[in-house]
């Protein structure tokens, strides 16, 4: 994929999550690996107005390589995840309503549904709280993402990573769906039946052969 194609795809994903209501008040951000660094959405620019030339190229230490705008304030966790996870080719961060609500309880999502396996393991963890844009938040996100493709950020939102932008987008949308289902169960005063690790392993093995894009 050329740089122009990658820039256009990043903007398309950012605009799609915005249309879905996942990015209130210009929140959220999208990035993808490019060369030895990454391309990331800018800070404070509404996604409907964002164009491919507005993206910023960063090195993995956060140095701006090109772009006239400021990178997203969350660039520290993007660069930290790419350094820690060679499998991550793209990252999507949202403040999607129901997953964010759940994150404010500082609880993750257990394996109440087999689609949890899409997110890389037997649960979706909730990372410890730290101030947005801080190195501490980056470290907490990396730790909670170990062996996973998605994580809730306490009192904040969601991070999803993927082997492609389409994969990360798919995962972040599924986290919102699962969070909504889980909250509905809890609101009904019910306790979900949790699938065991053996079943989740079987589901993960089946997903591997289903052409998932994550």
Task: Specify whether 146 is catalytic.
Answer: no
How many angstroms separate the CA atoms of 126 and 151, rounded? 6
Question: In the sheet that 126-127 helps form, which strands lie side by side, from edge to edge?
Answer: 64-66, 56-59, 37-40, 29-34, 90-94, 157-162, 150-153, 126-127
How many angstroms separate the CA atoms of 141 and 118, rounded? 18
Burial class (CB in 10 A: 0-12, 13-18, 19+), 85: middle
Catalytic residue among 3, 9, 74, 136: 74
Break the chain down into helix, strand, coil percent, rounded to 5: 45, 20, 40
CB 30 within 8 A of CB 93: yes
Strands 150-153 and 126-127, by their bridges, are parallel
Strands 157-162 and 90-94, by their bridges, are antiparallel
How many angstroms separate the CA atoms of 58 and 29, rounded? 14
Q: 3-state DSSP call for residue 8?
A: helix
Residues involved in catalysis? 74
């Amino acid at each position: 994929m050329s740089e122009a194609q990658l820039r256009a795809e990043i903007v398309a994903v950012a605009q799609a999550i915005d249309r879905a209501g996942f990015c209130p008040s210009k929140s959220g951000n999208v990035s993808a690996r490019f060369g030895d660094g990454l391309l990331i959405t800018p800070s404070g620019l509404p996604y409907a107005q964002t164009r491919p030339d507005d993206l910023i190229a960063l090195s993995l230490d956060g140095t701006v390589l090109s772009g006239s705008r400021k990178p997203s304030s969350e660039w520290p966790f993007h660069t930290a995840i790419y350094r820690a996870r060679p499998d991550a080719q793209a990252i999507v961060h949202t403040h999607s309503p129901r997953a964010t609500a759940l994150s404010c309880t500082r609880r993750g999502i257990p394996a109440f549904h087999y689609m949890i396996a899409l997110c890389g393991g037997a649960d979706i963890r909730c990372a410890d709280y730290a101030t947005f844009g801080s190195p501490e938040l980056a470290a907490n996100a990396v730790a909670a993402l170990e062996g996973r493709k998605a994580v809730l950020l306490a009192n904040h939102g969601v991070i999803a990573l993927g082997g492609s932008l389409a994969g990360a987008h798919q995962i972040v949308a599924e986290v919102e769906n699962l969070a909504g289902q889980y909250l509905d169960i809890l609101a009904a005063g019910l306790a979900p039946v949790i699938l065991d690790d053996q079943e989740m392993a079987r589901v993960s093995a089946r997903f591997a052969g289903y052409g998932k894009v994550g």
